[in-house]
């Protein structure tokens, strides 16, 4: 067995065993089996790392012939290794979390674990496929896995509506990828990502088709509206979908396009503008939410804007920033979703207006949340800070101040949004219903396996925040090199850039830090007000009845502040097209039915005359 | 069917689909002796036609299979069956005559007669095949038949007979490519009209069986597009599309047959809700069949669709690619609408209904597995990359 194919085979073997052994496995055993398969895949993926770090490209053929002359061949370079590691790491942590989380599910567990494993395997195949057609198959397989997992509770309207939206938006846009592949094959005769001939057919139009597909998968505005609707899935599904296996597929495609040839001169700028809009739209909509998972979903939209913005810059620095952000986002967003799931598991709700004061009941969950929330907000010493640091540097280096400004404003609003979520879930007074539940000892800390799952990913946020060079040198830099760029940016402890651009960024950061320190000194030396008597900073807003501003207050403030933005909803446009098509089809049929469906003899006669006339006229 | 490269014999497909249809009919019950007689005749003649291959006898057996389909409609025993039989006969009889006359004029494709007989032959064939396949605008019989017969009959009519007609056309395209290549414009218009028209008709419909037969018309239009070039990739796309269509139709109509049996009435996207709760297997198989029809991987439909997208670029450039994209996208929306209205989501009532019989579930599961398995090994259905020598000679104008 070739080590290159081992991660995928481990996952598929796990999926197969789920099906075969289903009658004899308990719910917990099914979860453990799935987690074990993912852990084996992760170990196998780690084993590939030494080679890809040295710039080696590993190849292996899974099946010699599949379709036409296409073999299912894997080519693992730096970028493939990055996605393989990300998928298996996130998959392992989330499946460990799922063991206890899903154990009480009355039915469908075999289906759940089987599809989860295929889902991860799909991402690995997408990342490693040597051939465009195989990549497209993997692209659609993860789409189908997502569809079936989001619709896991298929008797619930909200769940299946969400699943439908996932399928329709991402699959329709995915035809862009397929058409691009067909055009490349016709023009160049090859489908091999690494074949130099491919560059000859890689026109701006082909690149644009691929980007549209990637935009839908990676929730770029205006194709982002499916993701908040997908929130009615089991939490492990949301965690996997948001962190690694679905939204990152589009990121992969955008990055992989650099393997074929440069496409950024024409399309990089527009894509960066889309990414900037996405950053802002995502976070502004997140501010409004009172459902914890919907809030996180809109943050995924915003965060993907950062990632795609980095990749659109088209320099080694920008790509390094985008890829570093990709991995970082997998860690903190996976953690956040699992915490949200733990909260729902413990309290039965994810409604921020019905939550509060959980830090006393769920102390470990609270700590894990705070780490991940700090990371997504870009607090120093977390991986999120390093990712933003790199991105801002790359945008400055390129001279794209709009991207920098969007990222900066987005970061502030992200911090604001997570302050709201943190306070509303974990601090302040506990709502009456929860307090009663606590009195009945119904509230509980997450189980050990759930804590391990989310704790592992949160630990990654800290480790790669303190020592980002581990991630940069071992995973990101080889991926950048694999795309044909010379990695000229490096990071050191805490995220200090040590490569190109280090001086500018470091001086800038020092100035900001000095200004903040001076401000604080002046504030202290002046007649500073006494400490607030309430636990929560309100930003000057009057406090509502109670001791803290609640989610509704924040949502109200956000609605007041960003009212025009909330009117930006592309869904009516898509629905309008569909309903208009329906009306046109019905109207046309009704108009022609008297001839086409009720007078067959006349129709045949007319058709005969038409065929005769057409052929006679040549 | 066009000769496959590996060992799958041409008669395997009608035999497999016929068996699936028969087993479903046994499991779900309710069919009379006349229906069984017509069904057995239909499958036997279709299998024999493929065994005999492209010949006068093969064409005769194919026509016999089509007439058996007419008998099947007549034997359905529904209130609308007599009227549907008359309408079907009005299409089928002229179609058989037209195709028969056309084939006679060109001696089954081995001869290109002098003008104007060659053009007349093409006209007869075009008219005949369009009527048999209910291509747009000659689809008048299809909705009438779809509403009048039970879904299990449609497994045989669409999965065996229609597939056989498409296979006949594919064989003819290999033996006498000039029929299509020299009259590309009208055939392309027919294909495009069926592709777009089939989807539009499906959008405007609420009866699930009728929706499915119209999506089949669109699929036939796409397959016809693949036959229009002598390019082996396109021919392979058409061939794979044909097999994929037969399997998808079996899954879709099989699932609908289980739904009809459970509810005791036809399924409608306007009134039927949440069948998946009662019939989870049928629901899952419908989902697989819909995916195959739309061309989602891993199904044989995908192996066909990417080739046919390529054909569209070859035949009509970006305009045709856009047209195919629009049609396939609309096809997806139609199938998703059907899936989500009829099968998924909350049930219309909480009244418990018996699950589908075990035998029916087994047939459906095997069909779904066949759809996925064939998508994983599409090569066994691919056509040879070289054209027959006499066909090449005809194309190149060197035939005696």
Query: Would you list the domain boundaries of chain B?
Result: 12-377
Please give the Cα distance from A360 to A289 (Å, whole number): 24
A175 vs B325: CB contact, 8 Å cut-off? yes
**Residue A491's beta-bridge partner residues?**
A497
Q: What is the pLDDT of residue A505?
A: 64
Q: Provide the pLDDT confidence category of residue A462 given band limits of 50, 70 and 90.
A: very high
| pLDDT at position B183 over 70 | yes
Q: Provide the pLDDT confidence category of residue B2 given band limits of 50, 70 and 90.
A: very low
B303 vs A611: CB contact, 8 Å cut-off? no
In this predicted model, what pLDDT tens digit does every residue of A471-484 receive, in sequence order?
999 999 999 999 98
DSSP secondary structure of A307-363: HHHHHHH-SHHHHHHHHHHHHHHHHHHHHHHHHHHHHHHHHS--BGGG---GGGT-H
Q: What is the pLDDT of residue A565?
A: 80
Please give the Cα distance from B315 to A230 (Å, whole number): 39
Q: Taking CB atoms and an 8 Å cutoff, what residues of chain A touch B302?
A: 137, 140
Please give the Cα distance from A438 to A452 (Å, whole number): 24
Q: Smallest CA–CA separation between A39 and chain B, in Å?
A: 26
| Residue in the structure block whose two tokens are 């619709």 | A151
Q: What is the pLDDT of residue B399?
A: 47
Q: Taking CB atoms and an 8 Å cutoff, what residues of chain A touch B203?
A: 581-582, 585-586
Q: Provide the pLDDT confidence category of residue A353 given band limits of 50, 70 and 90.
A: confident
| pLDDT at position A46 over 60 | yes
Please give the Cα distance from A242 to A230 (Å, whole number): 10
Distances in whole angstroms, Cα of residue A265 to Cα of each of A221, A258, A313, A443, B162: 21, 12, 10, 55, 51
Counting every residue written for chain B, the total comes to 400
3-class secondary structure, B115: coil
Q: Provide the pLDDT confidence category of residue B392 given band limits of 50, 70 and 90.
A: very low
Please give the Cα distance from A39 to A13 (Å, whole number): 13
10 Å CB burial of residue A415 (0-12, 13-18, 19+) is: middle
In this predicted model, what pLDDT tens digit does every residue of B7-21 receive, in sequence order?
567 888 999 999 999
Q: Does A584 touch chain B (CB under 8 A)?
A: yes
In this predicted model, what pLDDT tens digit does every residue of B196-219 receive, in sequence order?
999 999 999 999 999 999 999 999
Q: Smallest CA–CA separation between A291 and chain B, in Å?
A: 22
Judged by average pLDDT, the poorest of A44-53, A496-505, B348-357 is A496-505
Taking residues A587-601, report their average pLDDT. 84
Size of the A and B interface in Cβ pairs below 8 Å: 139
Please give the Cα distance from B262 to A317 (Å, whole number): 62
Q: Residue B207: count other Cβ atoms within 10 Å of its Cβ.
A: 16
| Binding-face residues of A in 48-77 toward B, CB within 8 A | 65-68
Question: What is the rounded average pLDDT for all residues in chain B?
Answer: 89
Q: Where are the domains of chain A?
A: 267-497+548-569, 576-616
Q: Smallest CA–CA separation between A590 and chain B, in Å?
A: 9
- The rounded percent of chain B whose pLDDT value lies above 90 is 72
Name the nearest CA neighbour of B76 among B65, B61, B64, B88: B88
B306 vs A136: CB contact, 8 Å cut-off? yes
Q: What distance, in Å, lies between the first and last C-alpha atoms of chain A?
A: 61
Q: What is the ipTM of this complex?
A: 0.89
| Binding-face residues of B in 317-336 toward A, CB within 8 A | 321, 325, 328-330, 332-333, 336
Taking residues B86-91, report their average pLDDT. 95
Taking residues B381-388, report their average pLDDT. 53
Q: What is the pLDDT of residue B394?
A: 44
Q: Provide the pLDDT confidence category of residue B356 given band limits of 50, 70 and 90.
A: confident
B298 vs A141: CB contact, 8 Å cut-off? yes
Using CA atoms of B249, B252, B254, B256 in order, give the dihedral in degrees to the nearest 10.
-140
Q: Provide the pLDDT confidence category of residue A501 given band limits of 50, 70 and 90.
A: low
Is-contact A382 A390, C-beta < 8 A? no
Residues 6+ apart with CB under 8 A from A289: A295, A298, A352, A555
Distances in whole angstroms, Cα of residue B138 to Cα of each of A104, A246, A588, B197, B244: 56, 44, 15, 11, 24
DSSP secondary structure of A394-405: HHHHHT-HHHHH
- The residue in chain B having the minimum alpha-carbon distance to the alpha carbon of residue A179 is B309
Q: Provide the pLDDT confidence category of residue B342 given band limits of 50, 70 and 90.
A: very high
Q: What distance, in Å, lies between the first and last C-alpha atoms of chain B?
A: 27
Judged by average pLDDT, the poorest of A226-240, A525-539, B108-122, B367-381 is A525-539
B123 vs A611: CB contact, 8 Å cut-off? yes
Name the nearest CA neighbour of A131 among A66, A219, A176: A66
Q: Smallest CA–CA separation between B353 and chain A, in Å?
A: 16
């Amino acid at each position: 067995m070739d080590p290159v194919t081992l991660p995928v085979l481990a996952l598929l073997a796990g999926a197969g065993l789920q099906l075969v052994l289903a009658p004899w496995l308990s719910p917990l055993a099914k979860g453990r089996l799935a987690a074990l398969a993912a852990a084996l895949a992760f170990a196998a993926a780690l084993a590939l790392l030494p080679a890809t770090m040295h710039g080696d490209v590993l190849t292996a053929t899974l099946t010699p012939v599949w379709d036409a002359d296409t073999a299912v061949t894997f080519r693992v370079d730096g970028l493939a290794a990055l996605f393989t590691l990300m998928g298996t790491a996130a998959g392992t942590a989330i499946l460990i979390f799922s063991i206890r989380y899903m154990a009480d599910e009355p039915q469908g567990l075999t289906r759940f674990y089987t599809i989860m494993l295929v889902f991860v395997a799909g991402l690995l195949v997408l990342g490693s496929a040597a051939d465009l057609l195989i990549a497209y198959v993997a692209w659609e397989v993860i789409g189908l896995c997502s569809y079936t997992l989001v619709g896991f509770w298929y008797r619930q309207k909200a769940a299946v509506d969400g699943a439908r939206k996932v399928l329709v938006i991402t699959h329709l846009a995915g035809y862009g990828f397929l058409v691009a592949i067909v055009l490349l094959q016709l023009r160049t005769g090859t489908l091999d990502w690494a074949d130099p001939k491919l560059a000859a057919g890689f026109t701006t139009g082909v690149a644009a088709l691929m980007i549209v597909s990637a935009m839908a998968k990676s929730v770029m505005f205006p194709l982002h509206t499916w993701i908040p609707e997908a929130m009615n899935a089991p939490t492990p599904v949301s965690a996997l979908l948001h962190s690694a296996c679905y939204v990152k597929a589009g990121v992969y495609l955008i990055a992989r396009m650099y393997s074929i040839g440069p496409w950024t001169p024409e399309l990089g700028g527009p894509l960066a503008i889309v990414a900037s809009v996405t950053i802002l739209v995502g976070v502004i909509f997140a501010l409004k939410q009172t459902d914890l998972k919907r809030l996180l979903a809109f943050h995924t939209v915003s965060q993907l804007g950062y990632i795609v913005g980095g990749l659109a810059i088209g320099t080694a620095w920008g790509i390094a920033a985008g890829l570093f952000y990709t991995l970082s986002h997998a860690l903190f967003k996976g953690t956040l979703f699992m915490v949200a799931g733990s909260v729902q598991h413990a309290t039965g709700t994810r409604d921020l207006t019905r939550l509060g004061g959980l830090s006393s009941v769920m102390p470990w969950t609270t700590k894990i949340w705070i780490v991940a929330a700090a990371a997504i907000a870009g607090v120093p010493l977390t991986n999120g800070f390093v990712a933003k640091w790199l991105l801002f540097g790359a945008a400055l280096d390129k001279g794209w101040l709009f991207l920098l400004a969007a990222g900066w404003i987005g970061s502030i609003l992200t911090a604001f949004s997570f302050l709201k979520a943190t306070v509303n879930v974990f601090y302040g007074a506990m709502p009456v219903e929860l307090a009663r539940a606590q009195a009945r000892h119904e509230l509980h800390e997450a189980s050990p396996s759930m804590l391990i799952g989310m704790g592992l990913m949160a630990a990654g946020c800290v480790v790669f925040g303190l020592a980002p060079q581990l991630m940069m040198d071992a995973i990101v830099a080889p991926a950048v090199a694999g795309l044909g760029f010379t990695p000229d940016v490096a990071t050191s402890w805490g995220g200090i850039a040590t490569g190109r651009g280090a001086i500018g960024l470091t001086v800038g950061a020092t100035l900001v830090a000095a200004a903040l320190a001076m401000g604080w000194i002046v504030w202290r030396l002046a007649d500073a007000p006494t400490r607030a008597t309430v636990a929560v900073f309100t930003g000057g807003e009057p406090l509502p009845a109670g001791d803290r501003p609640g989610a509704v207050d924040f949502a109200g403030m956000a609605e007041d502040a960003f009212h025009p933005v909330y009117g930006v909803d592309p869904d009516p446009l898509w629905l309008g097209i569909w309903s208009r098509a329906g009306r046109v089809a019905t109207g046309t049929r009704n108009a022609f039915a008297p001839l086409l469906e009720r007078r067959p003899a006349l129709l045949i006669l007319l058709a005969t005359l038409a065929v005769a006339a057409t052929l006679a006229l040549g | 069917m066009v000769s496959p490269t590996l060992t799958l014999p041409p008669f395997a497909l009608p035999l497999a689909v016929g068996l699936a249809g028969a087993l479903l009919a046994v499991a779900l019950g309710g069919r009379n002796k006349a229906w069984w007689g017509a069904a057995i005749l239909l499958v036997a003649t279709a299998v024999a036609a493929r065994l005999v291959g492209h010949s006068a006898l093969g064409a005769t057996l194919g026509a016999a299979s089509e007439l058996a389909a007419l008998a099947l409609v007549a034997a359905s025993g529904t209130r609308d069956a007599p009227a549907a039989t008359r309408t079907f006969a009005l299409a089928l009889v002229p179609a058989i005559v037209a195709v028969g006359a056309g084939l006679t004029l060109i001696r089954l494709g081995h001869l290109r007669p002098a003008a104007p007989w060659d053009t007349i032959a093409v006209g007869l064939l075009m008219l005949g095949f369009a009527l048999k396949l209910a291509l747009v605008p000659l689809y008048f019989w299809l909705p009438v038949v779809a509403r009048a017969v039970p879904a299990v009959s449609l497994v045989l009519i669409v999965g065996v007979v229609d597939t056989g007609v498409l296979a006949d056309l594919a064989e003819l395209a290999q033996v006498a490519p000039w029929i299509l290549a020299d009259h590309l414009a009208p055939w392309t218009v027919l294909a495009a009209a069926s592709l777009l028209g089939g989807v539009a008709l499906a959008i405007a419909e609420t009866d699930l069986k009728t929706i499915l037969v119209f999506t089949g018309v669109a699929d036939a239009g796409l397959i016809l597009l693949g036959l229009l070039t002598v390019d082996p990739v396109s021919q392979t796309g058409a061939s794979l599309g044909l097999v994929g269509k037969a399997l998808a139709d079996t899954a879709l109509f099989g699932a609908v047959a289980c739904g009809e049996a459970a509810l005791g009435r036809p399924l409608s996207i306007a009134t039927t809700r949440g069948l998946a709760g009662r019939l989870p297997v049928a629901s899952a198989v419908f989902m697989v069949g819909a995916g195959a029809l739309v061309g989602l991987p891993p199904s044989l439909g995908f192996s066909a669709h990417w080739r046919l997208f390529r054909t569209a670029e070859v035949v009509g450039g970006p305009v045709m690619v856009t047209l195919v994209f629009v049609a396939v996208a609309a096809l997806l929306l139609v199938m998703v609408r059907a899936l989500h209205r009829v099968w998924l989501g909350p049930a219309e009532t909480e009244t418990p209904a018996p699950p589908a019989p075990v035998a029916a579930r087994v047939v459906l599961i095997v069909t779904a597995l066949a759809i996925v398995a064939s998508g994983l090994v599409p090569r066994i259905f691919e056509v040879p990359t070289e054209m027959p020598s006499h066909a090449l000679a005809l194309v190149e104008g060197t035939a005696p």
